[in-house]
Amino acid sequence: MTLPLRQLSPFCWEIPRRGGMRVPGRVYVTEAQLAALSADRALEQVAAVAHLPGIVGASLAMPDIHWGYGFPIGGVAAVDAEGGAVSPGGVGYDINCGCRVITTQLPVDEVRRNTHAIVSRLFATIPTGMGAGSAIPKLSRRELRELMAQGADWAVARGYRAGADDATHCEEGGRLQGAEPEWVSDRALARGADQVGTLGSGNHFLELQHVAEIYDPEAAAAFGLRTGEITLMIHSGSRGLGHQVCDETLHELSRVYERFGADYAALPDRQLACAPIGSELGTRYLGAMQAAANFAWANRQVMTGLAVRAVAEAMGLAEPELGARVLYDVCHNIAKFEEHQVDGQPRRVLVHRKGATRAFGPGDPRVPEAYRAVGQPVLIPGDMGRYSFVLAGNASAMTETFGSSCHGAGRLLSRTAALKHARGRDIERELASRGIEVLARGPRTLGEEMSEAYKDVEDVVDVIAGAGISRKVAKLVPLGVIKG
């Protein structure tokens, strides 16, 4: 199927409304990226999402768009908070998968000669890989429920912290309102009980980086980013607990969603299964999803405490000597109630961001005060062999994308294709020759995750910057990385 596309700007294309689409689609890509997209079904998914009950504005896609379950990865869909539908496929399996940057005052030159010791200590401290558990003592169901009610604060209160303002430097303060831990099943609790403070596998990572380049000195100063200083980046989510919440809801929803009304029955893809926000099932999913999101924040917060301690020990320093603090923490797999302008009127909407990052512009009260003048920090992880970016949200994100930006590089090769390319090579040694020390549980992840398997994240970020949605603030280059 070929979709008719209308070019709106050098970086933006519209899929006009037709059939059951309630709104148009809008895709932020260059012409070259658009040509590459014809190979997968992601654009059809953008059009399919436009059928979602209650969707407003447009069905959006960021430049790192690729095919996903129901919604494309890189998709953004806002639905009316009253009459709209919530769709687990618009959040993804890894609820509140997200990214965090911790800044330090350590100079890269001092740290580089200790890279091996630091990466080894990080790898020994933070469990990585599928099924890895026991970073901290296993939690009881009661403790887990407390954790899911409190989010990042749960971990801060137990001493897992970088600085004094870690939680307030998270999107939503590291805790979504409305979380209902009671609606998270026993099975999900069992999976999460020993996974707090664990990294996971796939594209999840913890990186030791340095600030290699500053593009926007004013925003960099506000964010505490200084050239030549060390940062840590954590990319992880809600592990087996969030996965279980998504899985259970999808199973339940697939049997009943068509009964919610003609709009639901007419959805073009069963993977878009959704429920009215106010329905019993919609309410239960939202409460459990918000609880799982808070689990993810606690998870990244515990890893923050463990990582700061590990770096200090490896450097032979006291923790305060690192000058570490959380710059910011964003979720890129989530559905959140937010107020946005729709057709010039303020409206409460549920914004699904599935592989998309919140990117609020300057002056927004929902951005921490220290950053408010320059806009929200937008954290964009790249691949393990190149670099990552810190951006700042622009005002136009608020009018164009419900305050949303891209979330990463996006895959170029499938996992299978990447492994084929990696055959006979020593990825670990290749990275070492470029000054990047990597420790992973197995060789397979390294093959699947090698640089060539990903697009250049700078190409993605440049589209976002070209479209005016966010602007580049700093480039972060890895010295070392731990993986699953």
Partner DNA sequence: ATGTTC
From the number of C-beta atoms within 10 Å of its C-beta (0-12, 13-18, 19+), residue 446 rates as buried
Residue 388 lies near DNA (rule: CB under 7 A)? no
State which of residues 45, 115, 150, 195 lies at the interface with DNA (CB under 7 A). Answer: 195
Among residues 212, 210, 202, 100, which one has the least CA distance to residue 152? 100
Chain centroid to Cα 195, Å, comes to 18
Helix (H, G, I), strand (E, B), or coil: what is residue 222? Answer: helix
Question: Binding marks (x or -) toward DNA, 196..225, rule CB under 7 A?
Answer: ----xxxxx---------------------
DSSP for 445-457, please give it: HHHHHSGGGB--H
Nearer to DNA, 175 or 407 (CB): 407
Residue closer to DNA by CB (options 130, 317) is 130
Which residue's CB is nearer to DNA, number 94 or number 216?
Answer: 94
H-type helices in 257-329, by residue range?
Answer: 262-265, 280-315
Residue 239 touches DNA, criterion: CB under 7 A: yes
**Smallest distance, DNA to C-beta of residue 103, A:** 25
Q: Is 243 an interacting residue with respect to DNA (CB under 7 A)?
A: yes
Q: Which is nearer to DNA, 26 or 483 (CB)?
A: 483
Instruction: State whether residue 350 is helix, strand or coil.
Output: strand
DSSP character at residue 138: P
User: Per CB under 7 A, does 36 bind DNA?
Assistant: no
Instruction: Write the interaction track for DNA spanning residues 405-444; mark x where CB under 7 A is met and - where it is not.
Output: ----------------------------------------
> Using CB under 7 A, which of 63, 70, 74, 240 touches DNA?
240
Site for DNA in 244-273 (CB under 7 A): 244
- Apex CA 96: angle with CA 453 and CA 74, to 5°? 45
Binding segment for DNA (CB under 7 A), chosen from 9-17, 43-51, 185-193, 376-384, is 185-193
Cα dihedral sign, 104-108-110-111: positive
Active site residue 407: yes
Contact by Cβ (8 Å): 460, 408: yes
Q: To the nearest whole angstrom, how small is the minimum distance from the Cβ of residue 450 to DNA?
A: 13
Contact by Cβ (8 Å): 415, 458: no
Q: Using the rule CB under 7 A, give the single segment among 4-12, 183-191, 394-402, 463-471 that binds DNA.
A: 183-191
Backbone angles phi, psi at 378, to 5 degrees: -120, 115
Q: Which residues make beta-bridge pairs with 432?
A: none
What are the tokens at 272?
């878009």
**Unique residue bearing structure tokens 């290699």:** 212
The reply to whether 458 sits near DNA by the rule CB under 7 A is no
Contact status: 484 vs DNA (CB under 7 A): yes
Of 235, 332, 407, 421, which residue is the catalytic one? Answer: 407
The interface with DNA within residues 88-147 (CB under 7 A) comprises: 93-94, 97, 130-131
CB atoms within 10 A of CB 83: 12
Give min distance, CB of 477 to DNA, in A: 21
Taking each helix axis from N to C end, the angle separating 280-315 and 239-256, rounded to the nearest 10 degrees, works out to 160
Say whether residue 190 binds DNA (CB under 7 A): yes
Residues 48, 409, 337, 223, Cα dihedral to 10°:
-160
Minimum distance from residue 307 beta carbon to DNA (Å): 17
Position of tokens 């960099």?
Answer: 220
237 binds DNA (CB under 7 A): yes
Could you tell me which stretch among 184-192, 215-223, 274-282, 398-406 binds DNA (CB under 7 A)?
184-192
What is the residue type of 47?
A: A
Q: Is residue 357 a contact point for DNA (CB under 7 A)?
A: no
Q: Which of 41, 141, 187, 366 binds DNA (CB under 7 A)?
A: 187
Instruction: Please say whether the beta carbons of 34 and 66 come within 8 A.
Output: no
Which SS3 state, helix, strand or coil, does residue 344 take? coil
Size of the site for DNA (CB under 7 A): 20
Shortest Å, Cβ 439 to DNA: 17
Catalytic residues: 407
Binding site for DNA (CB under 7 A): 93-94, 97, 130-131, 187, 190-191, 195, 200-204, 237, 239-240, 243-244, 484
